[in-house]
Every structure is written in structure tokens, then in C-alpha cells.
Amino acid sequence: LWVLNESGRIEGFDWSVGSDEYGLNKIVEKNGWIVVPEGTATNGTTYPDGNENPTVVIIRGGREGRNGFFFPGFIDTHIHASQYPNAGIFGSSTLLDWLKKYTFPMEKSFAEGENSDVAPPKAHTVYNRVISRTLSYGTTTAAYYATIHVPATCLLASLCQQRGQRAFIGRVCMDNPAFCPDDYQDASSDESIDAMQKVIDYVQHIDPKAKLVAPIVTPRFAPTCSHTALTGLGKLAASYTPPLHIQTHISENKNEVALVKELFPGSSYAQVYDDKGLLTPRTILAHAVYLSAEERALVKAREAKVSHCPASNSALGSGICPVRTLLDDGITVGLGTDVSGGYSPSILEATRQACLVSRLLSSQTPENNGRETLSVEEALYLATRGGAQVIDMADQIGGFEKGMLFDAQLIELGRGVGEGDDQDGLVDQGGEDAGGIDLFGWESWEEKIAKWVWSGDDRNVKAVWVGGRMVHKRANI
Ligand code: GUN
Ligand code: FE
């Protein structure tokens, strides 16, 4: 059984209750996973093989015979909560048309109820849905973009707090009339800064110690922002101790890169942000598909982080992010769904797509002998520990070390042929709750995890905890 302290941090495991329904049976390891022979005690700081920071933590748990395990909660380093109703709707558009045709009109509709005393009704419905769906897919932390609307954005913060999801809350800055639609833009750069300040104050008011929710300064991307607003937002983030987190988009699509060259002549895309103090160790740069070697060196030098959004990059035809190159350059990478450029709110889907697009990239560069290919374990690392590094919380979440917050998901793959009581292997397959994974009983744990990544979904996520609080549970468990 997990032993948590009052603030939801891991103190250790109590092996005397190993067969409890939610307890530990044993810890299994191979290839960086952990092995603890059943019944061996550990205080949780150093694992028995002496490895303090294993790649992927698999801890057996769940109900007897269901191939269950605890896994660190997923971290979605880039998701637009306000775009959730559009998930799956993008036609054959690419980024810049997509923004104008689908995205800005949807975001604009969050103004509804802005000047009344009641919670903005659209935001209330949509944001509750997003939180429910992401939690059900095992996302325990999300870096959210909302809209330009202050009341709706503040509501997102309080819903995350009430529902118990760890979240960064970003109010998007859009004050450049040359790019933003007339009916969806900030009145001035002053308004951009004022509105951001209001959201920061609100979020810090409801959660002064940022135990669950924190503000994140969000210049949407260079084309939507004036020089004045970018400078002001950089200063605003730096004026706090510790400095506030920052998130934006960078180098996602070739037309966008060309547009930034036009709007900011003489600077690279990364320099535009750096000149305004927006490249910091707490900056999340989404996409980073087309960064030059000089830009990667600048990102690395500033210790800014990258959110890799493979489902979105494929859906909008943006391109394939060279993740291996980013990693080899020493840049920290996490995963993002980028709903609704991305069609799915699932980080397991992002993990799968990260593997797939990396294999396509390898196929385009046969001379590199598979260098670009990410393994399932590497992609799961990006989904958890990588994401934790991206948001500067690697000592708090992303793994199960002693003292970390218990942000976890209980996964069950289901019974396999010859496993459990029923022996027919079909009892737990095909039903509402099966999760679609056929196990035959001969798979190693690496293979079971591979099956999870390639064919699992929310039906396999039986329960989710954030800071030790259960925030999601499937009905029939
Ligand atoms: N660039 C600027 N805004 C957006 C957005 O909402 N989604 C994506 N994917 N890219 C963007
Ligand atoms: Fe995005």
C-alpha cells in the first residue's frame, strides 16, 4: 500500500498490505524499470538496483489477475482548453487557415456571459468537460491555454482547483490587429498586460502557494502580439519571485515561420522571443518543428523547454519535429496534445504518435540507421518525467520517488488467456470496460507496456490521483 503524508507526498510503501485491492503486489523491472522481489522493503529513495532515477516506473498494483500497475500521471505540456469542442474538426486546413476558420471563432464564443455576475456558461460547460476527459485519460497536470476573456480564464483556474487537476492557466495575448480578427483581439497592448495581470492576481488569490493551480504568461505566438505586448509580458513574468512560467508557440509550420520573418525582419523566430525576455528556464515552446541549429543553441542556452505535439503536427500537416536532434542538443522535451490542432485529449495518444512520427522520420533518413526512432520507453519518459522537467517540477512529479507528490494513474490491461480465475481469456475483453487489449499470458512486462501504448485508451485507466486525492475513478471499479 502507498504510504502518503498529509500533503499527498510519497513516504514509501507498506509491503505488509501487498495484496490489498489497490496495494502493491510487487515491483517489476527490466530495462530501467524497477525490480523488487515480492516482499522486499524499500524506503522509496533509492531503488534496489541503486538507480535513483529510473526511466519508466512500473509498480504492480490493482486487482488480482488484471495485469494492473501504477504509473506516474501524464503531463500535458500544451493544450487549449477552449478548443476542446473542435477536437477532430480541422478539415484539410493548415495552421494559419485553421486558426482563422475554426479556432478564433470558437475561442471568441467564450465571451458569452462576460459581463454578467454568473459564471460564463460556455466556459463552465466546456472547461468541466475538458477536465473530466483529460483526467479520465490519466492527465494529472496540464498547461492550459484559455482565451482572451478574463472571467472565463479565471473560471478555468477555479474548476481545476475544485476538480483537483494540477494546472497552469494561460490567458492568451492577442493585440496585433494585423493578424488577429477584428472581433477577437485585445483593444491595446496595455489591455493585454492588464488582463494578464488580472488573471495572475486571481489565480494567486485562490491558490497562494500554487499547490494546484498557477498562472502562466501566454503570448499566443509572435504574429498575434505587438512588440510592446511581448516586452511587457516578458517583464511581467520576470517581476515575480520565482519568475512566472511562460508558454507560447514556435516554428510549427513553414508559412508561420515565413510570416514571423516578415513581421520581425532581421531576427530568427527564437530571437524574437529572446529579445523580449521570453526565453527562460520556465518557458514552454510548443512544436519547435523547424528550429535552425542556431535557434536550438539559443533555446538550450536559455534552458527554455519544448512541448512536442506530434498528433497536432500530423493533423495540421505541419511537419515532423526532430525530437532526437532536440534531445541530442540537450533540450528538455515533454509531450502535448495541442487540442484541437491535436484531435485527442489523450497523452497516451501523444505518446503513440511520438513513436510513430519518429519512425517516419527515421525512414526518411536511412543513413542514420534509426537514430530518430523513439522507443516506447523513451516516449513514456517524455510523457511523465520529461513533462515534469518542462514545467520545472521534476523533483515533485513524474515519478514515484520518496517525497514526490502522489500524482498517479492505476492502469489495468485486463485478464489474459490463462490468467485470473476464468481461464478463457475473454471475460474481460470486449466488454465496455475491456480497454481493447488482448493479452495471451506469455507477454513480458515490456511487451505488455508496448501493448498498452499502442492499443490502450481511457478504459484502462481505472483510477487517477493528484497529490494523493482520487480525482477520477471508473464507474465499475
Ligand atoms: N499558433 C498560434 N495559435 C495556435 C493554436 O491555437 N494552436 C496551434 N497548434 N498553433 C497555434
Ligand atoms: Fe497550440
ipTM: 0.99
Distance CA 399, CA 388 (A): 9
pLDDT, position 113: 80
The bridge status of strand 172-173 relative to strand 59-60 is: unpaired
Cis omega (within 30 of 0) for bond into 242: yes
What pLDDT is attached to residue 395? 93
List the shell of residues around ion ligand 2, using CB closer than 5 Å: 338
The whole-number pLDDT of residue 379 equals: 94
Q: How far apart are CA 276 and CA 274, in angstroms?
A: 5
pTM for the model = 0.91
Q: Which pLDDT score, from 0 to 100, does residue 233 have? A: 98
**Eight-state DSSP code of residue 279:** -
Q: Which residues of the chain have pLDDT under 70?
A: 1-3, 12-64, 417-436, 476-477
Whether the Cβ atoms of residue 178 and residue 194 lie closer than 8 Å to each other: no
Strand-pairing partners, residue 465, are 408, 470
The closest ligand to the CA of 318 turns out to be: 1
Q: Which residues have C-beta atoms less than 6 Å from ligand 1?
A: 80, 95, 99, 103, 220-221, 249, 252, 312, 338, 341
Given this model, what pLDDT does residue 404 score? 87
77, 79, 110, 249: residue to mutate for ligand 1 pocket, most atoms within 8 A of CB:
249
Question: Which of 84, 95, 307, 340 best tests ligand 1's pocket when mutated (most atoms within 8 Å of CB)?
Answer: 95
- What pLDDT score does 8 carry? 79
The closest residue, in CA terms, to atom 7 on ligand 1 is: 341
Nearest one of 250, 299, 286 to 76, comparing CA atoms: 286
CB 142 within 8 A of CB 116: no
pLDDT value of position 418: 54
Instruction: Give the strand pairing for 333-335 and 305-308.
Output: parallel
- The CA 137 to ligand 2 mean position distance, Å, reads 19
Which residue(s) pair with 245 in the sheet?
Answer: 216
Mutate to test the pocket of ligand 1, among 338, 339, 344 (most ligand atoms within 8 A of CB): 338
Q: What is the mean pLDDT of the chain?
A: 87
Q: What is the Cα–Cα distance from 238 to 235, expressed in whole angstroms? A: 5
The strand pairing partners of 339, in sequence order, are 342
Centroid of ligand 2 to alpha carbon of 79 (angstroms)? 6
The Å distance, Cα 80 to ligand 2 centre, comes to 6
Instruction: Name residues whose C-beta falls within 8 Å of residue 175's C-beta, 6 or more positions apart in sequence.
Output: 185, 186, 187, 188, 189, 191, 192, 224, 225, 226, 228, 229
Name all domains of the chain by residue range, CATH numbers in brackets. Answer: 1-72+398-477 (2.30.40), 74-390 (3.20.20.140)
Q: Which atom of ligand 1 is nearest to the CA of 312?
A: 9
Say what the pLDDT of residue 429 is.
46
Closest ligand relative to 83 C-alpha: 1
pLDDT for the residue 19 = 39
- pLDDT attached to residue 47: 39
Rounded Cα gap, residues 167 and 186, in angstroms? 24
Distance from C-alpha of 342 to C-alpha of 84, rounded to nearest angstrom = 10
Expressed in angstroms, the distance from the first to the final Cα of the chain is 18
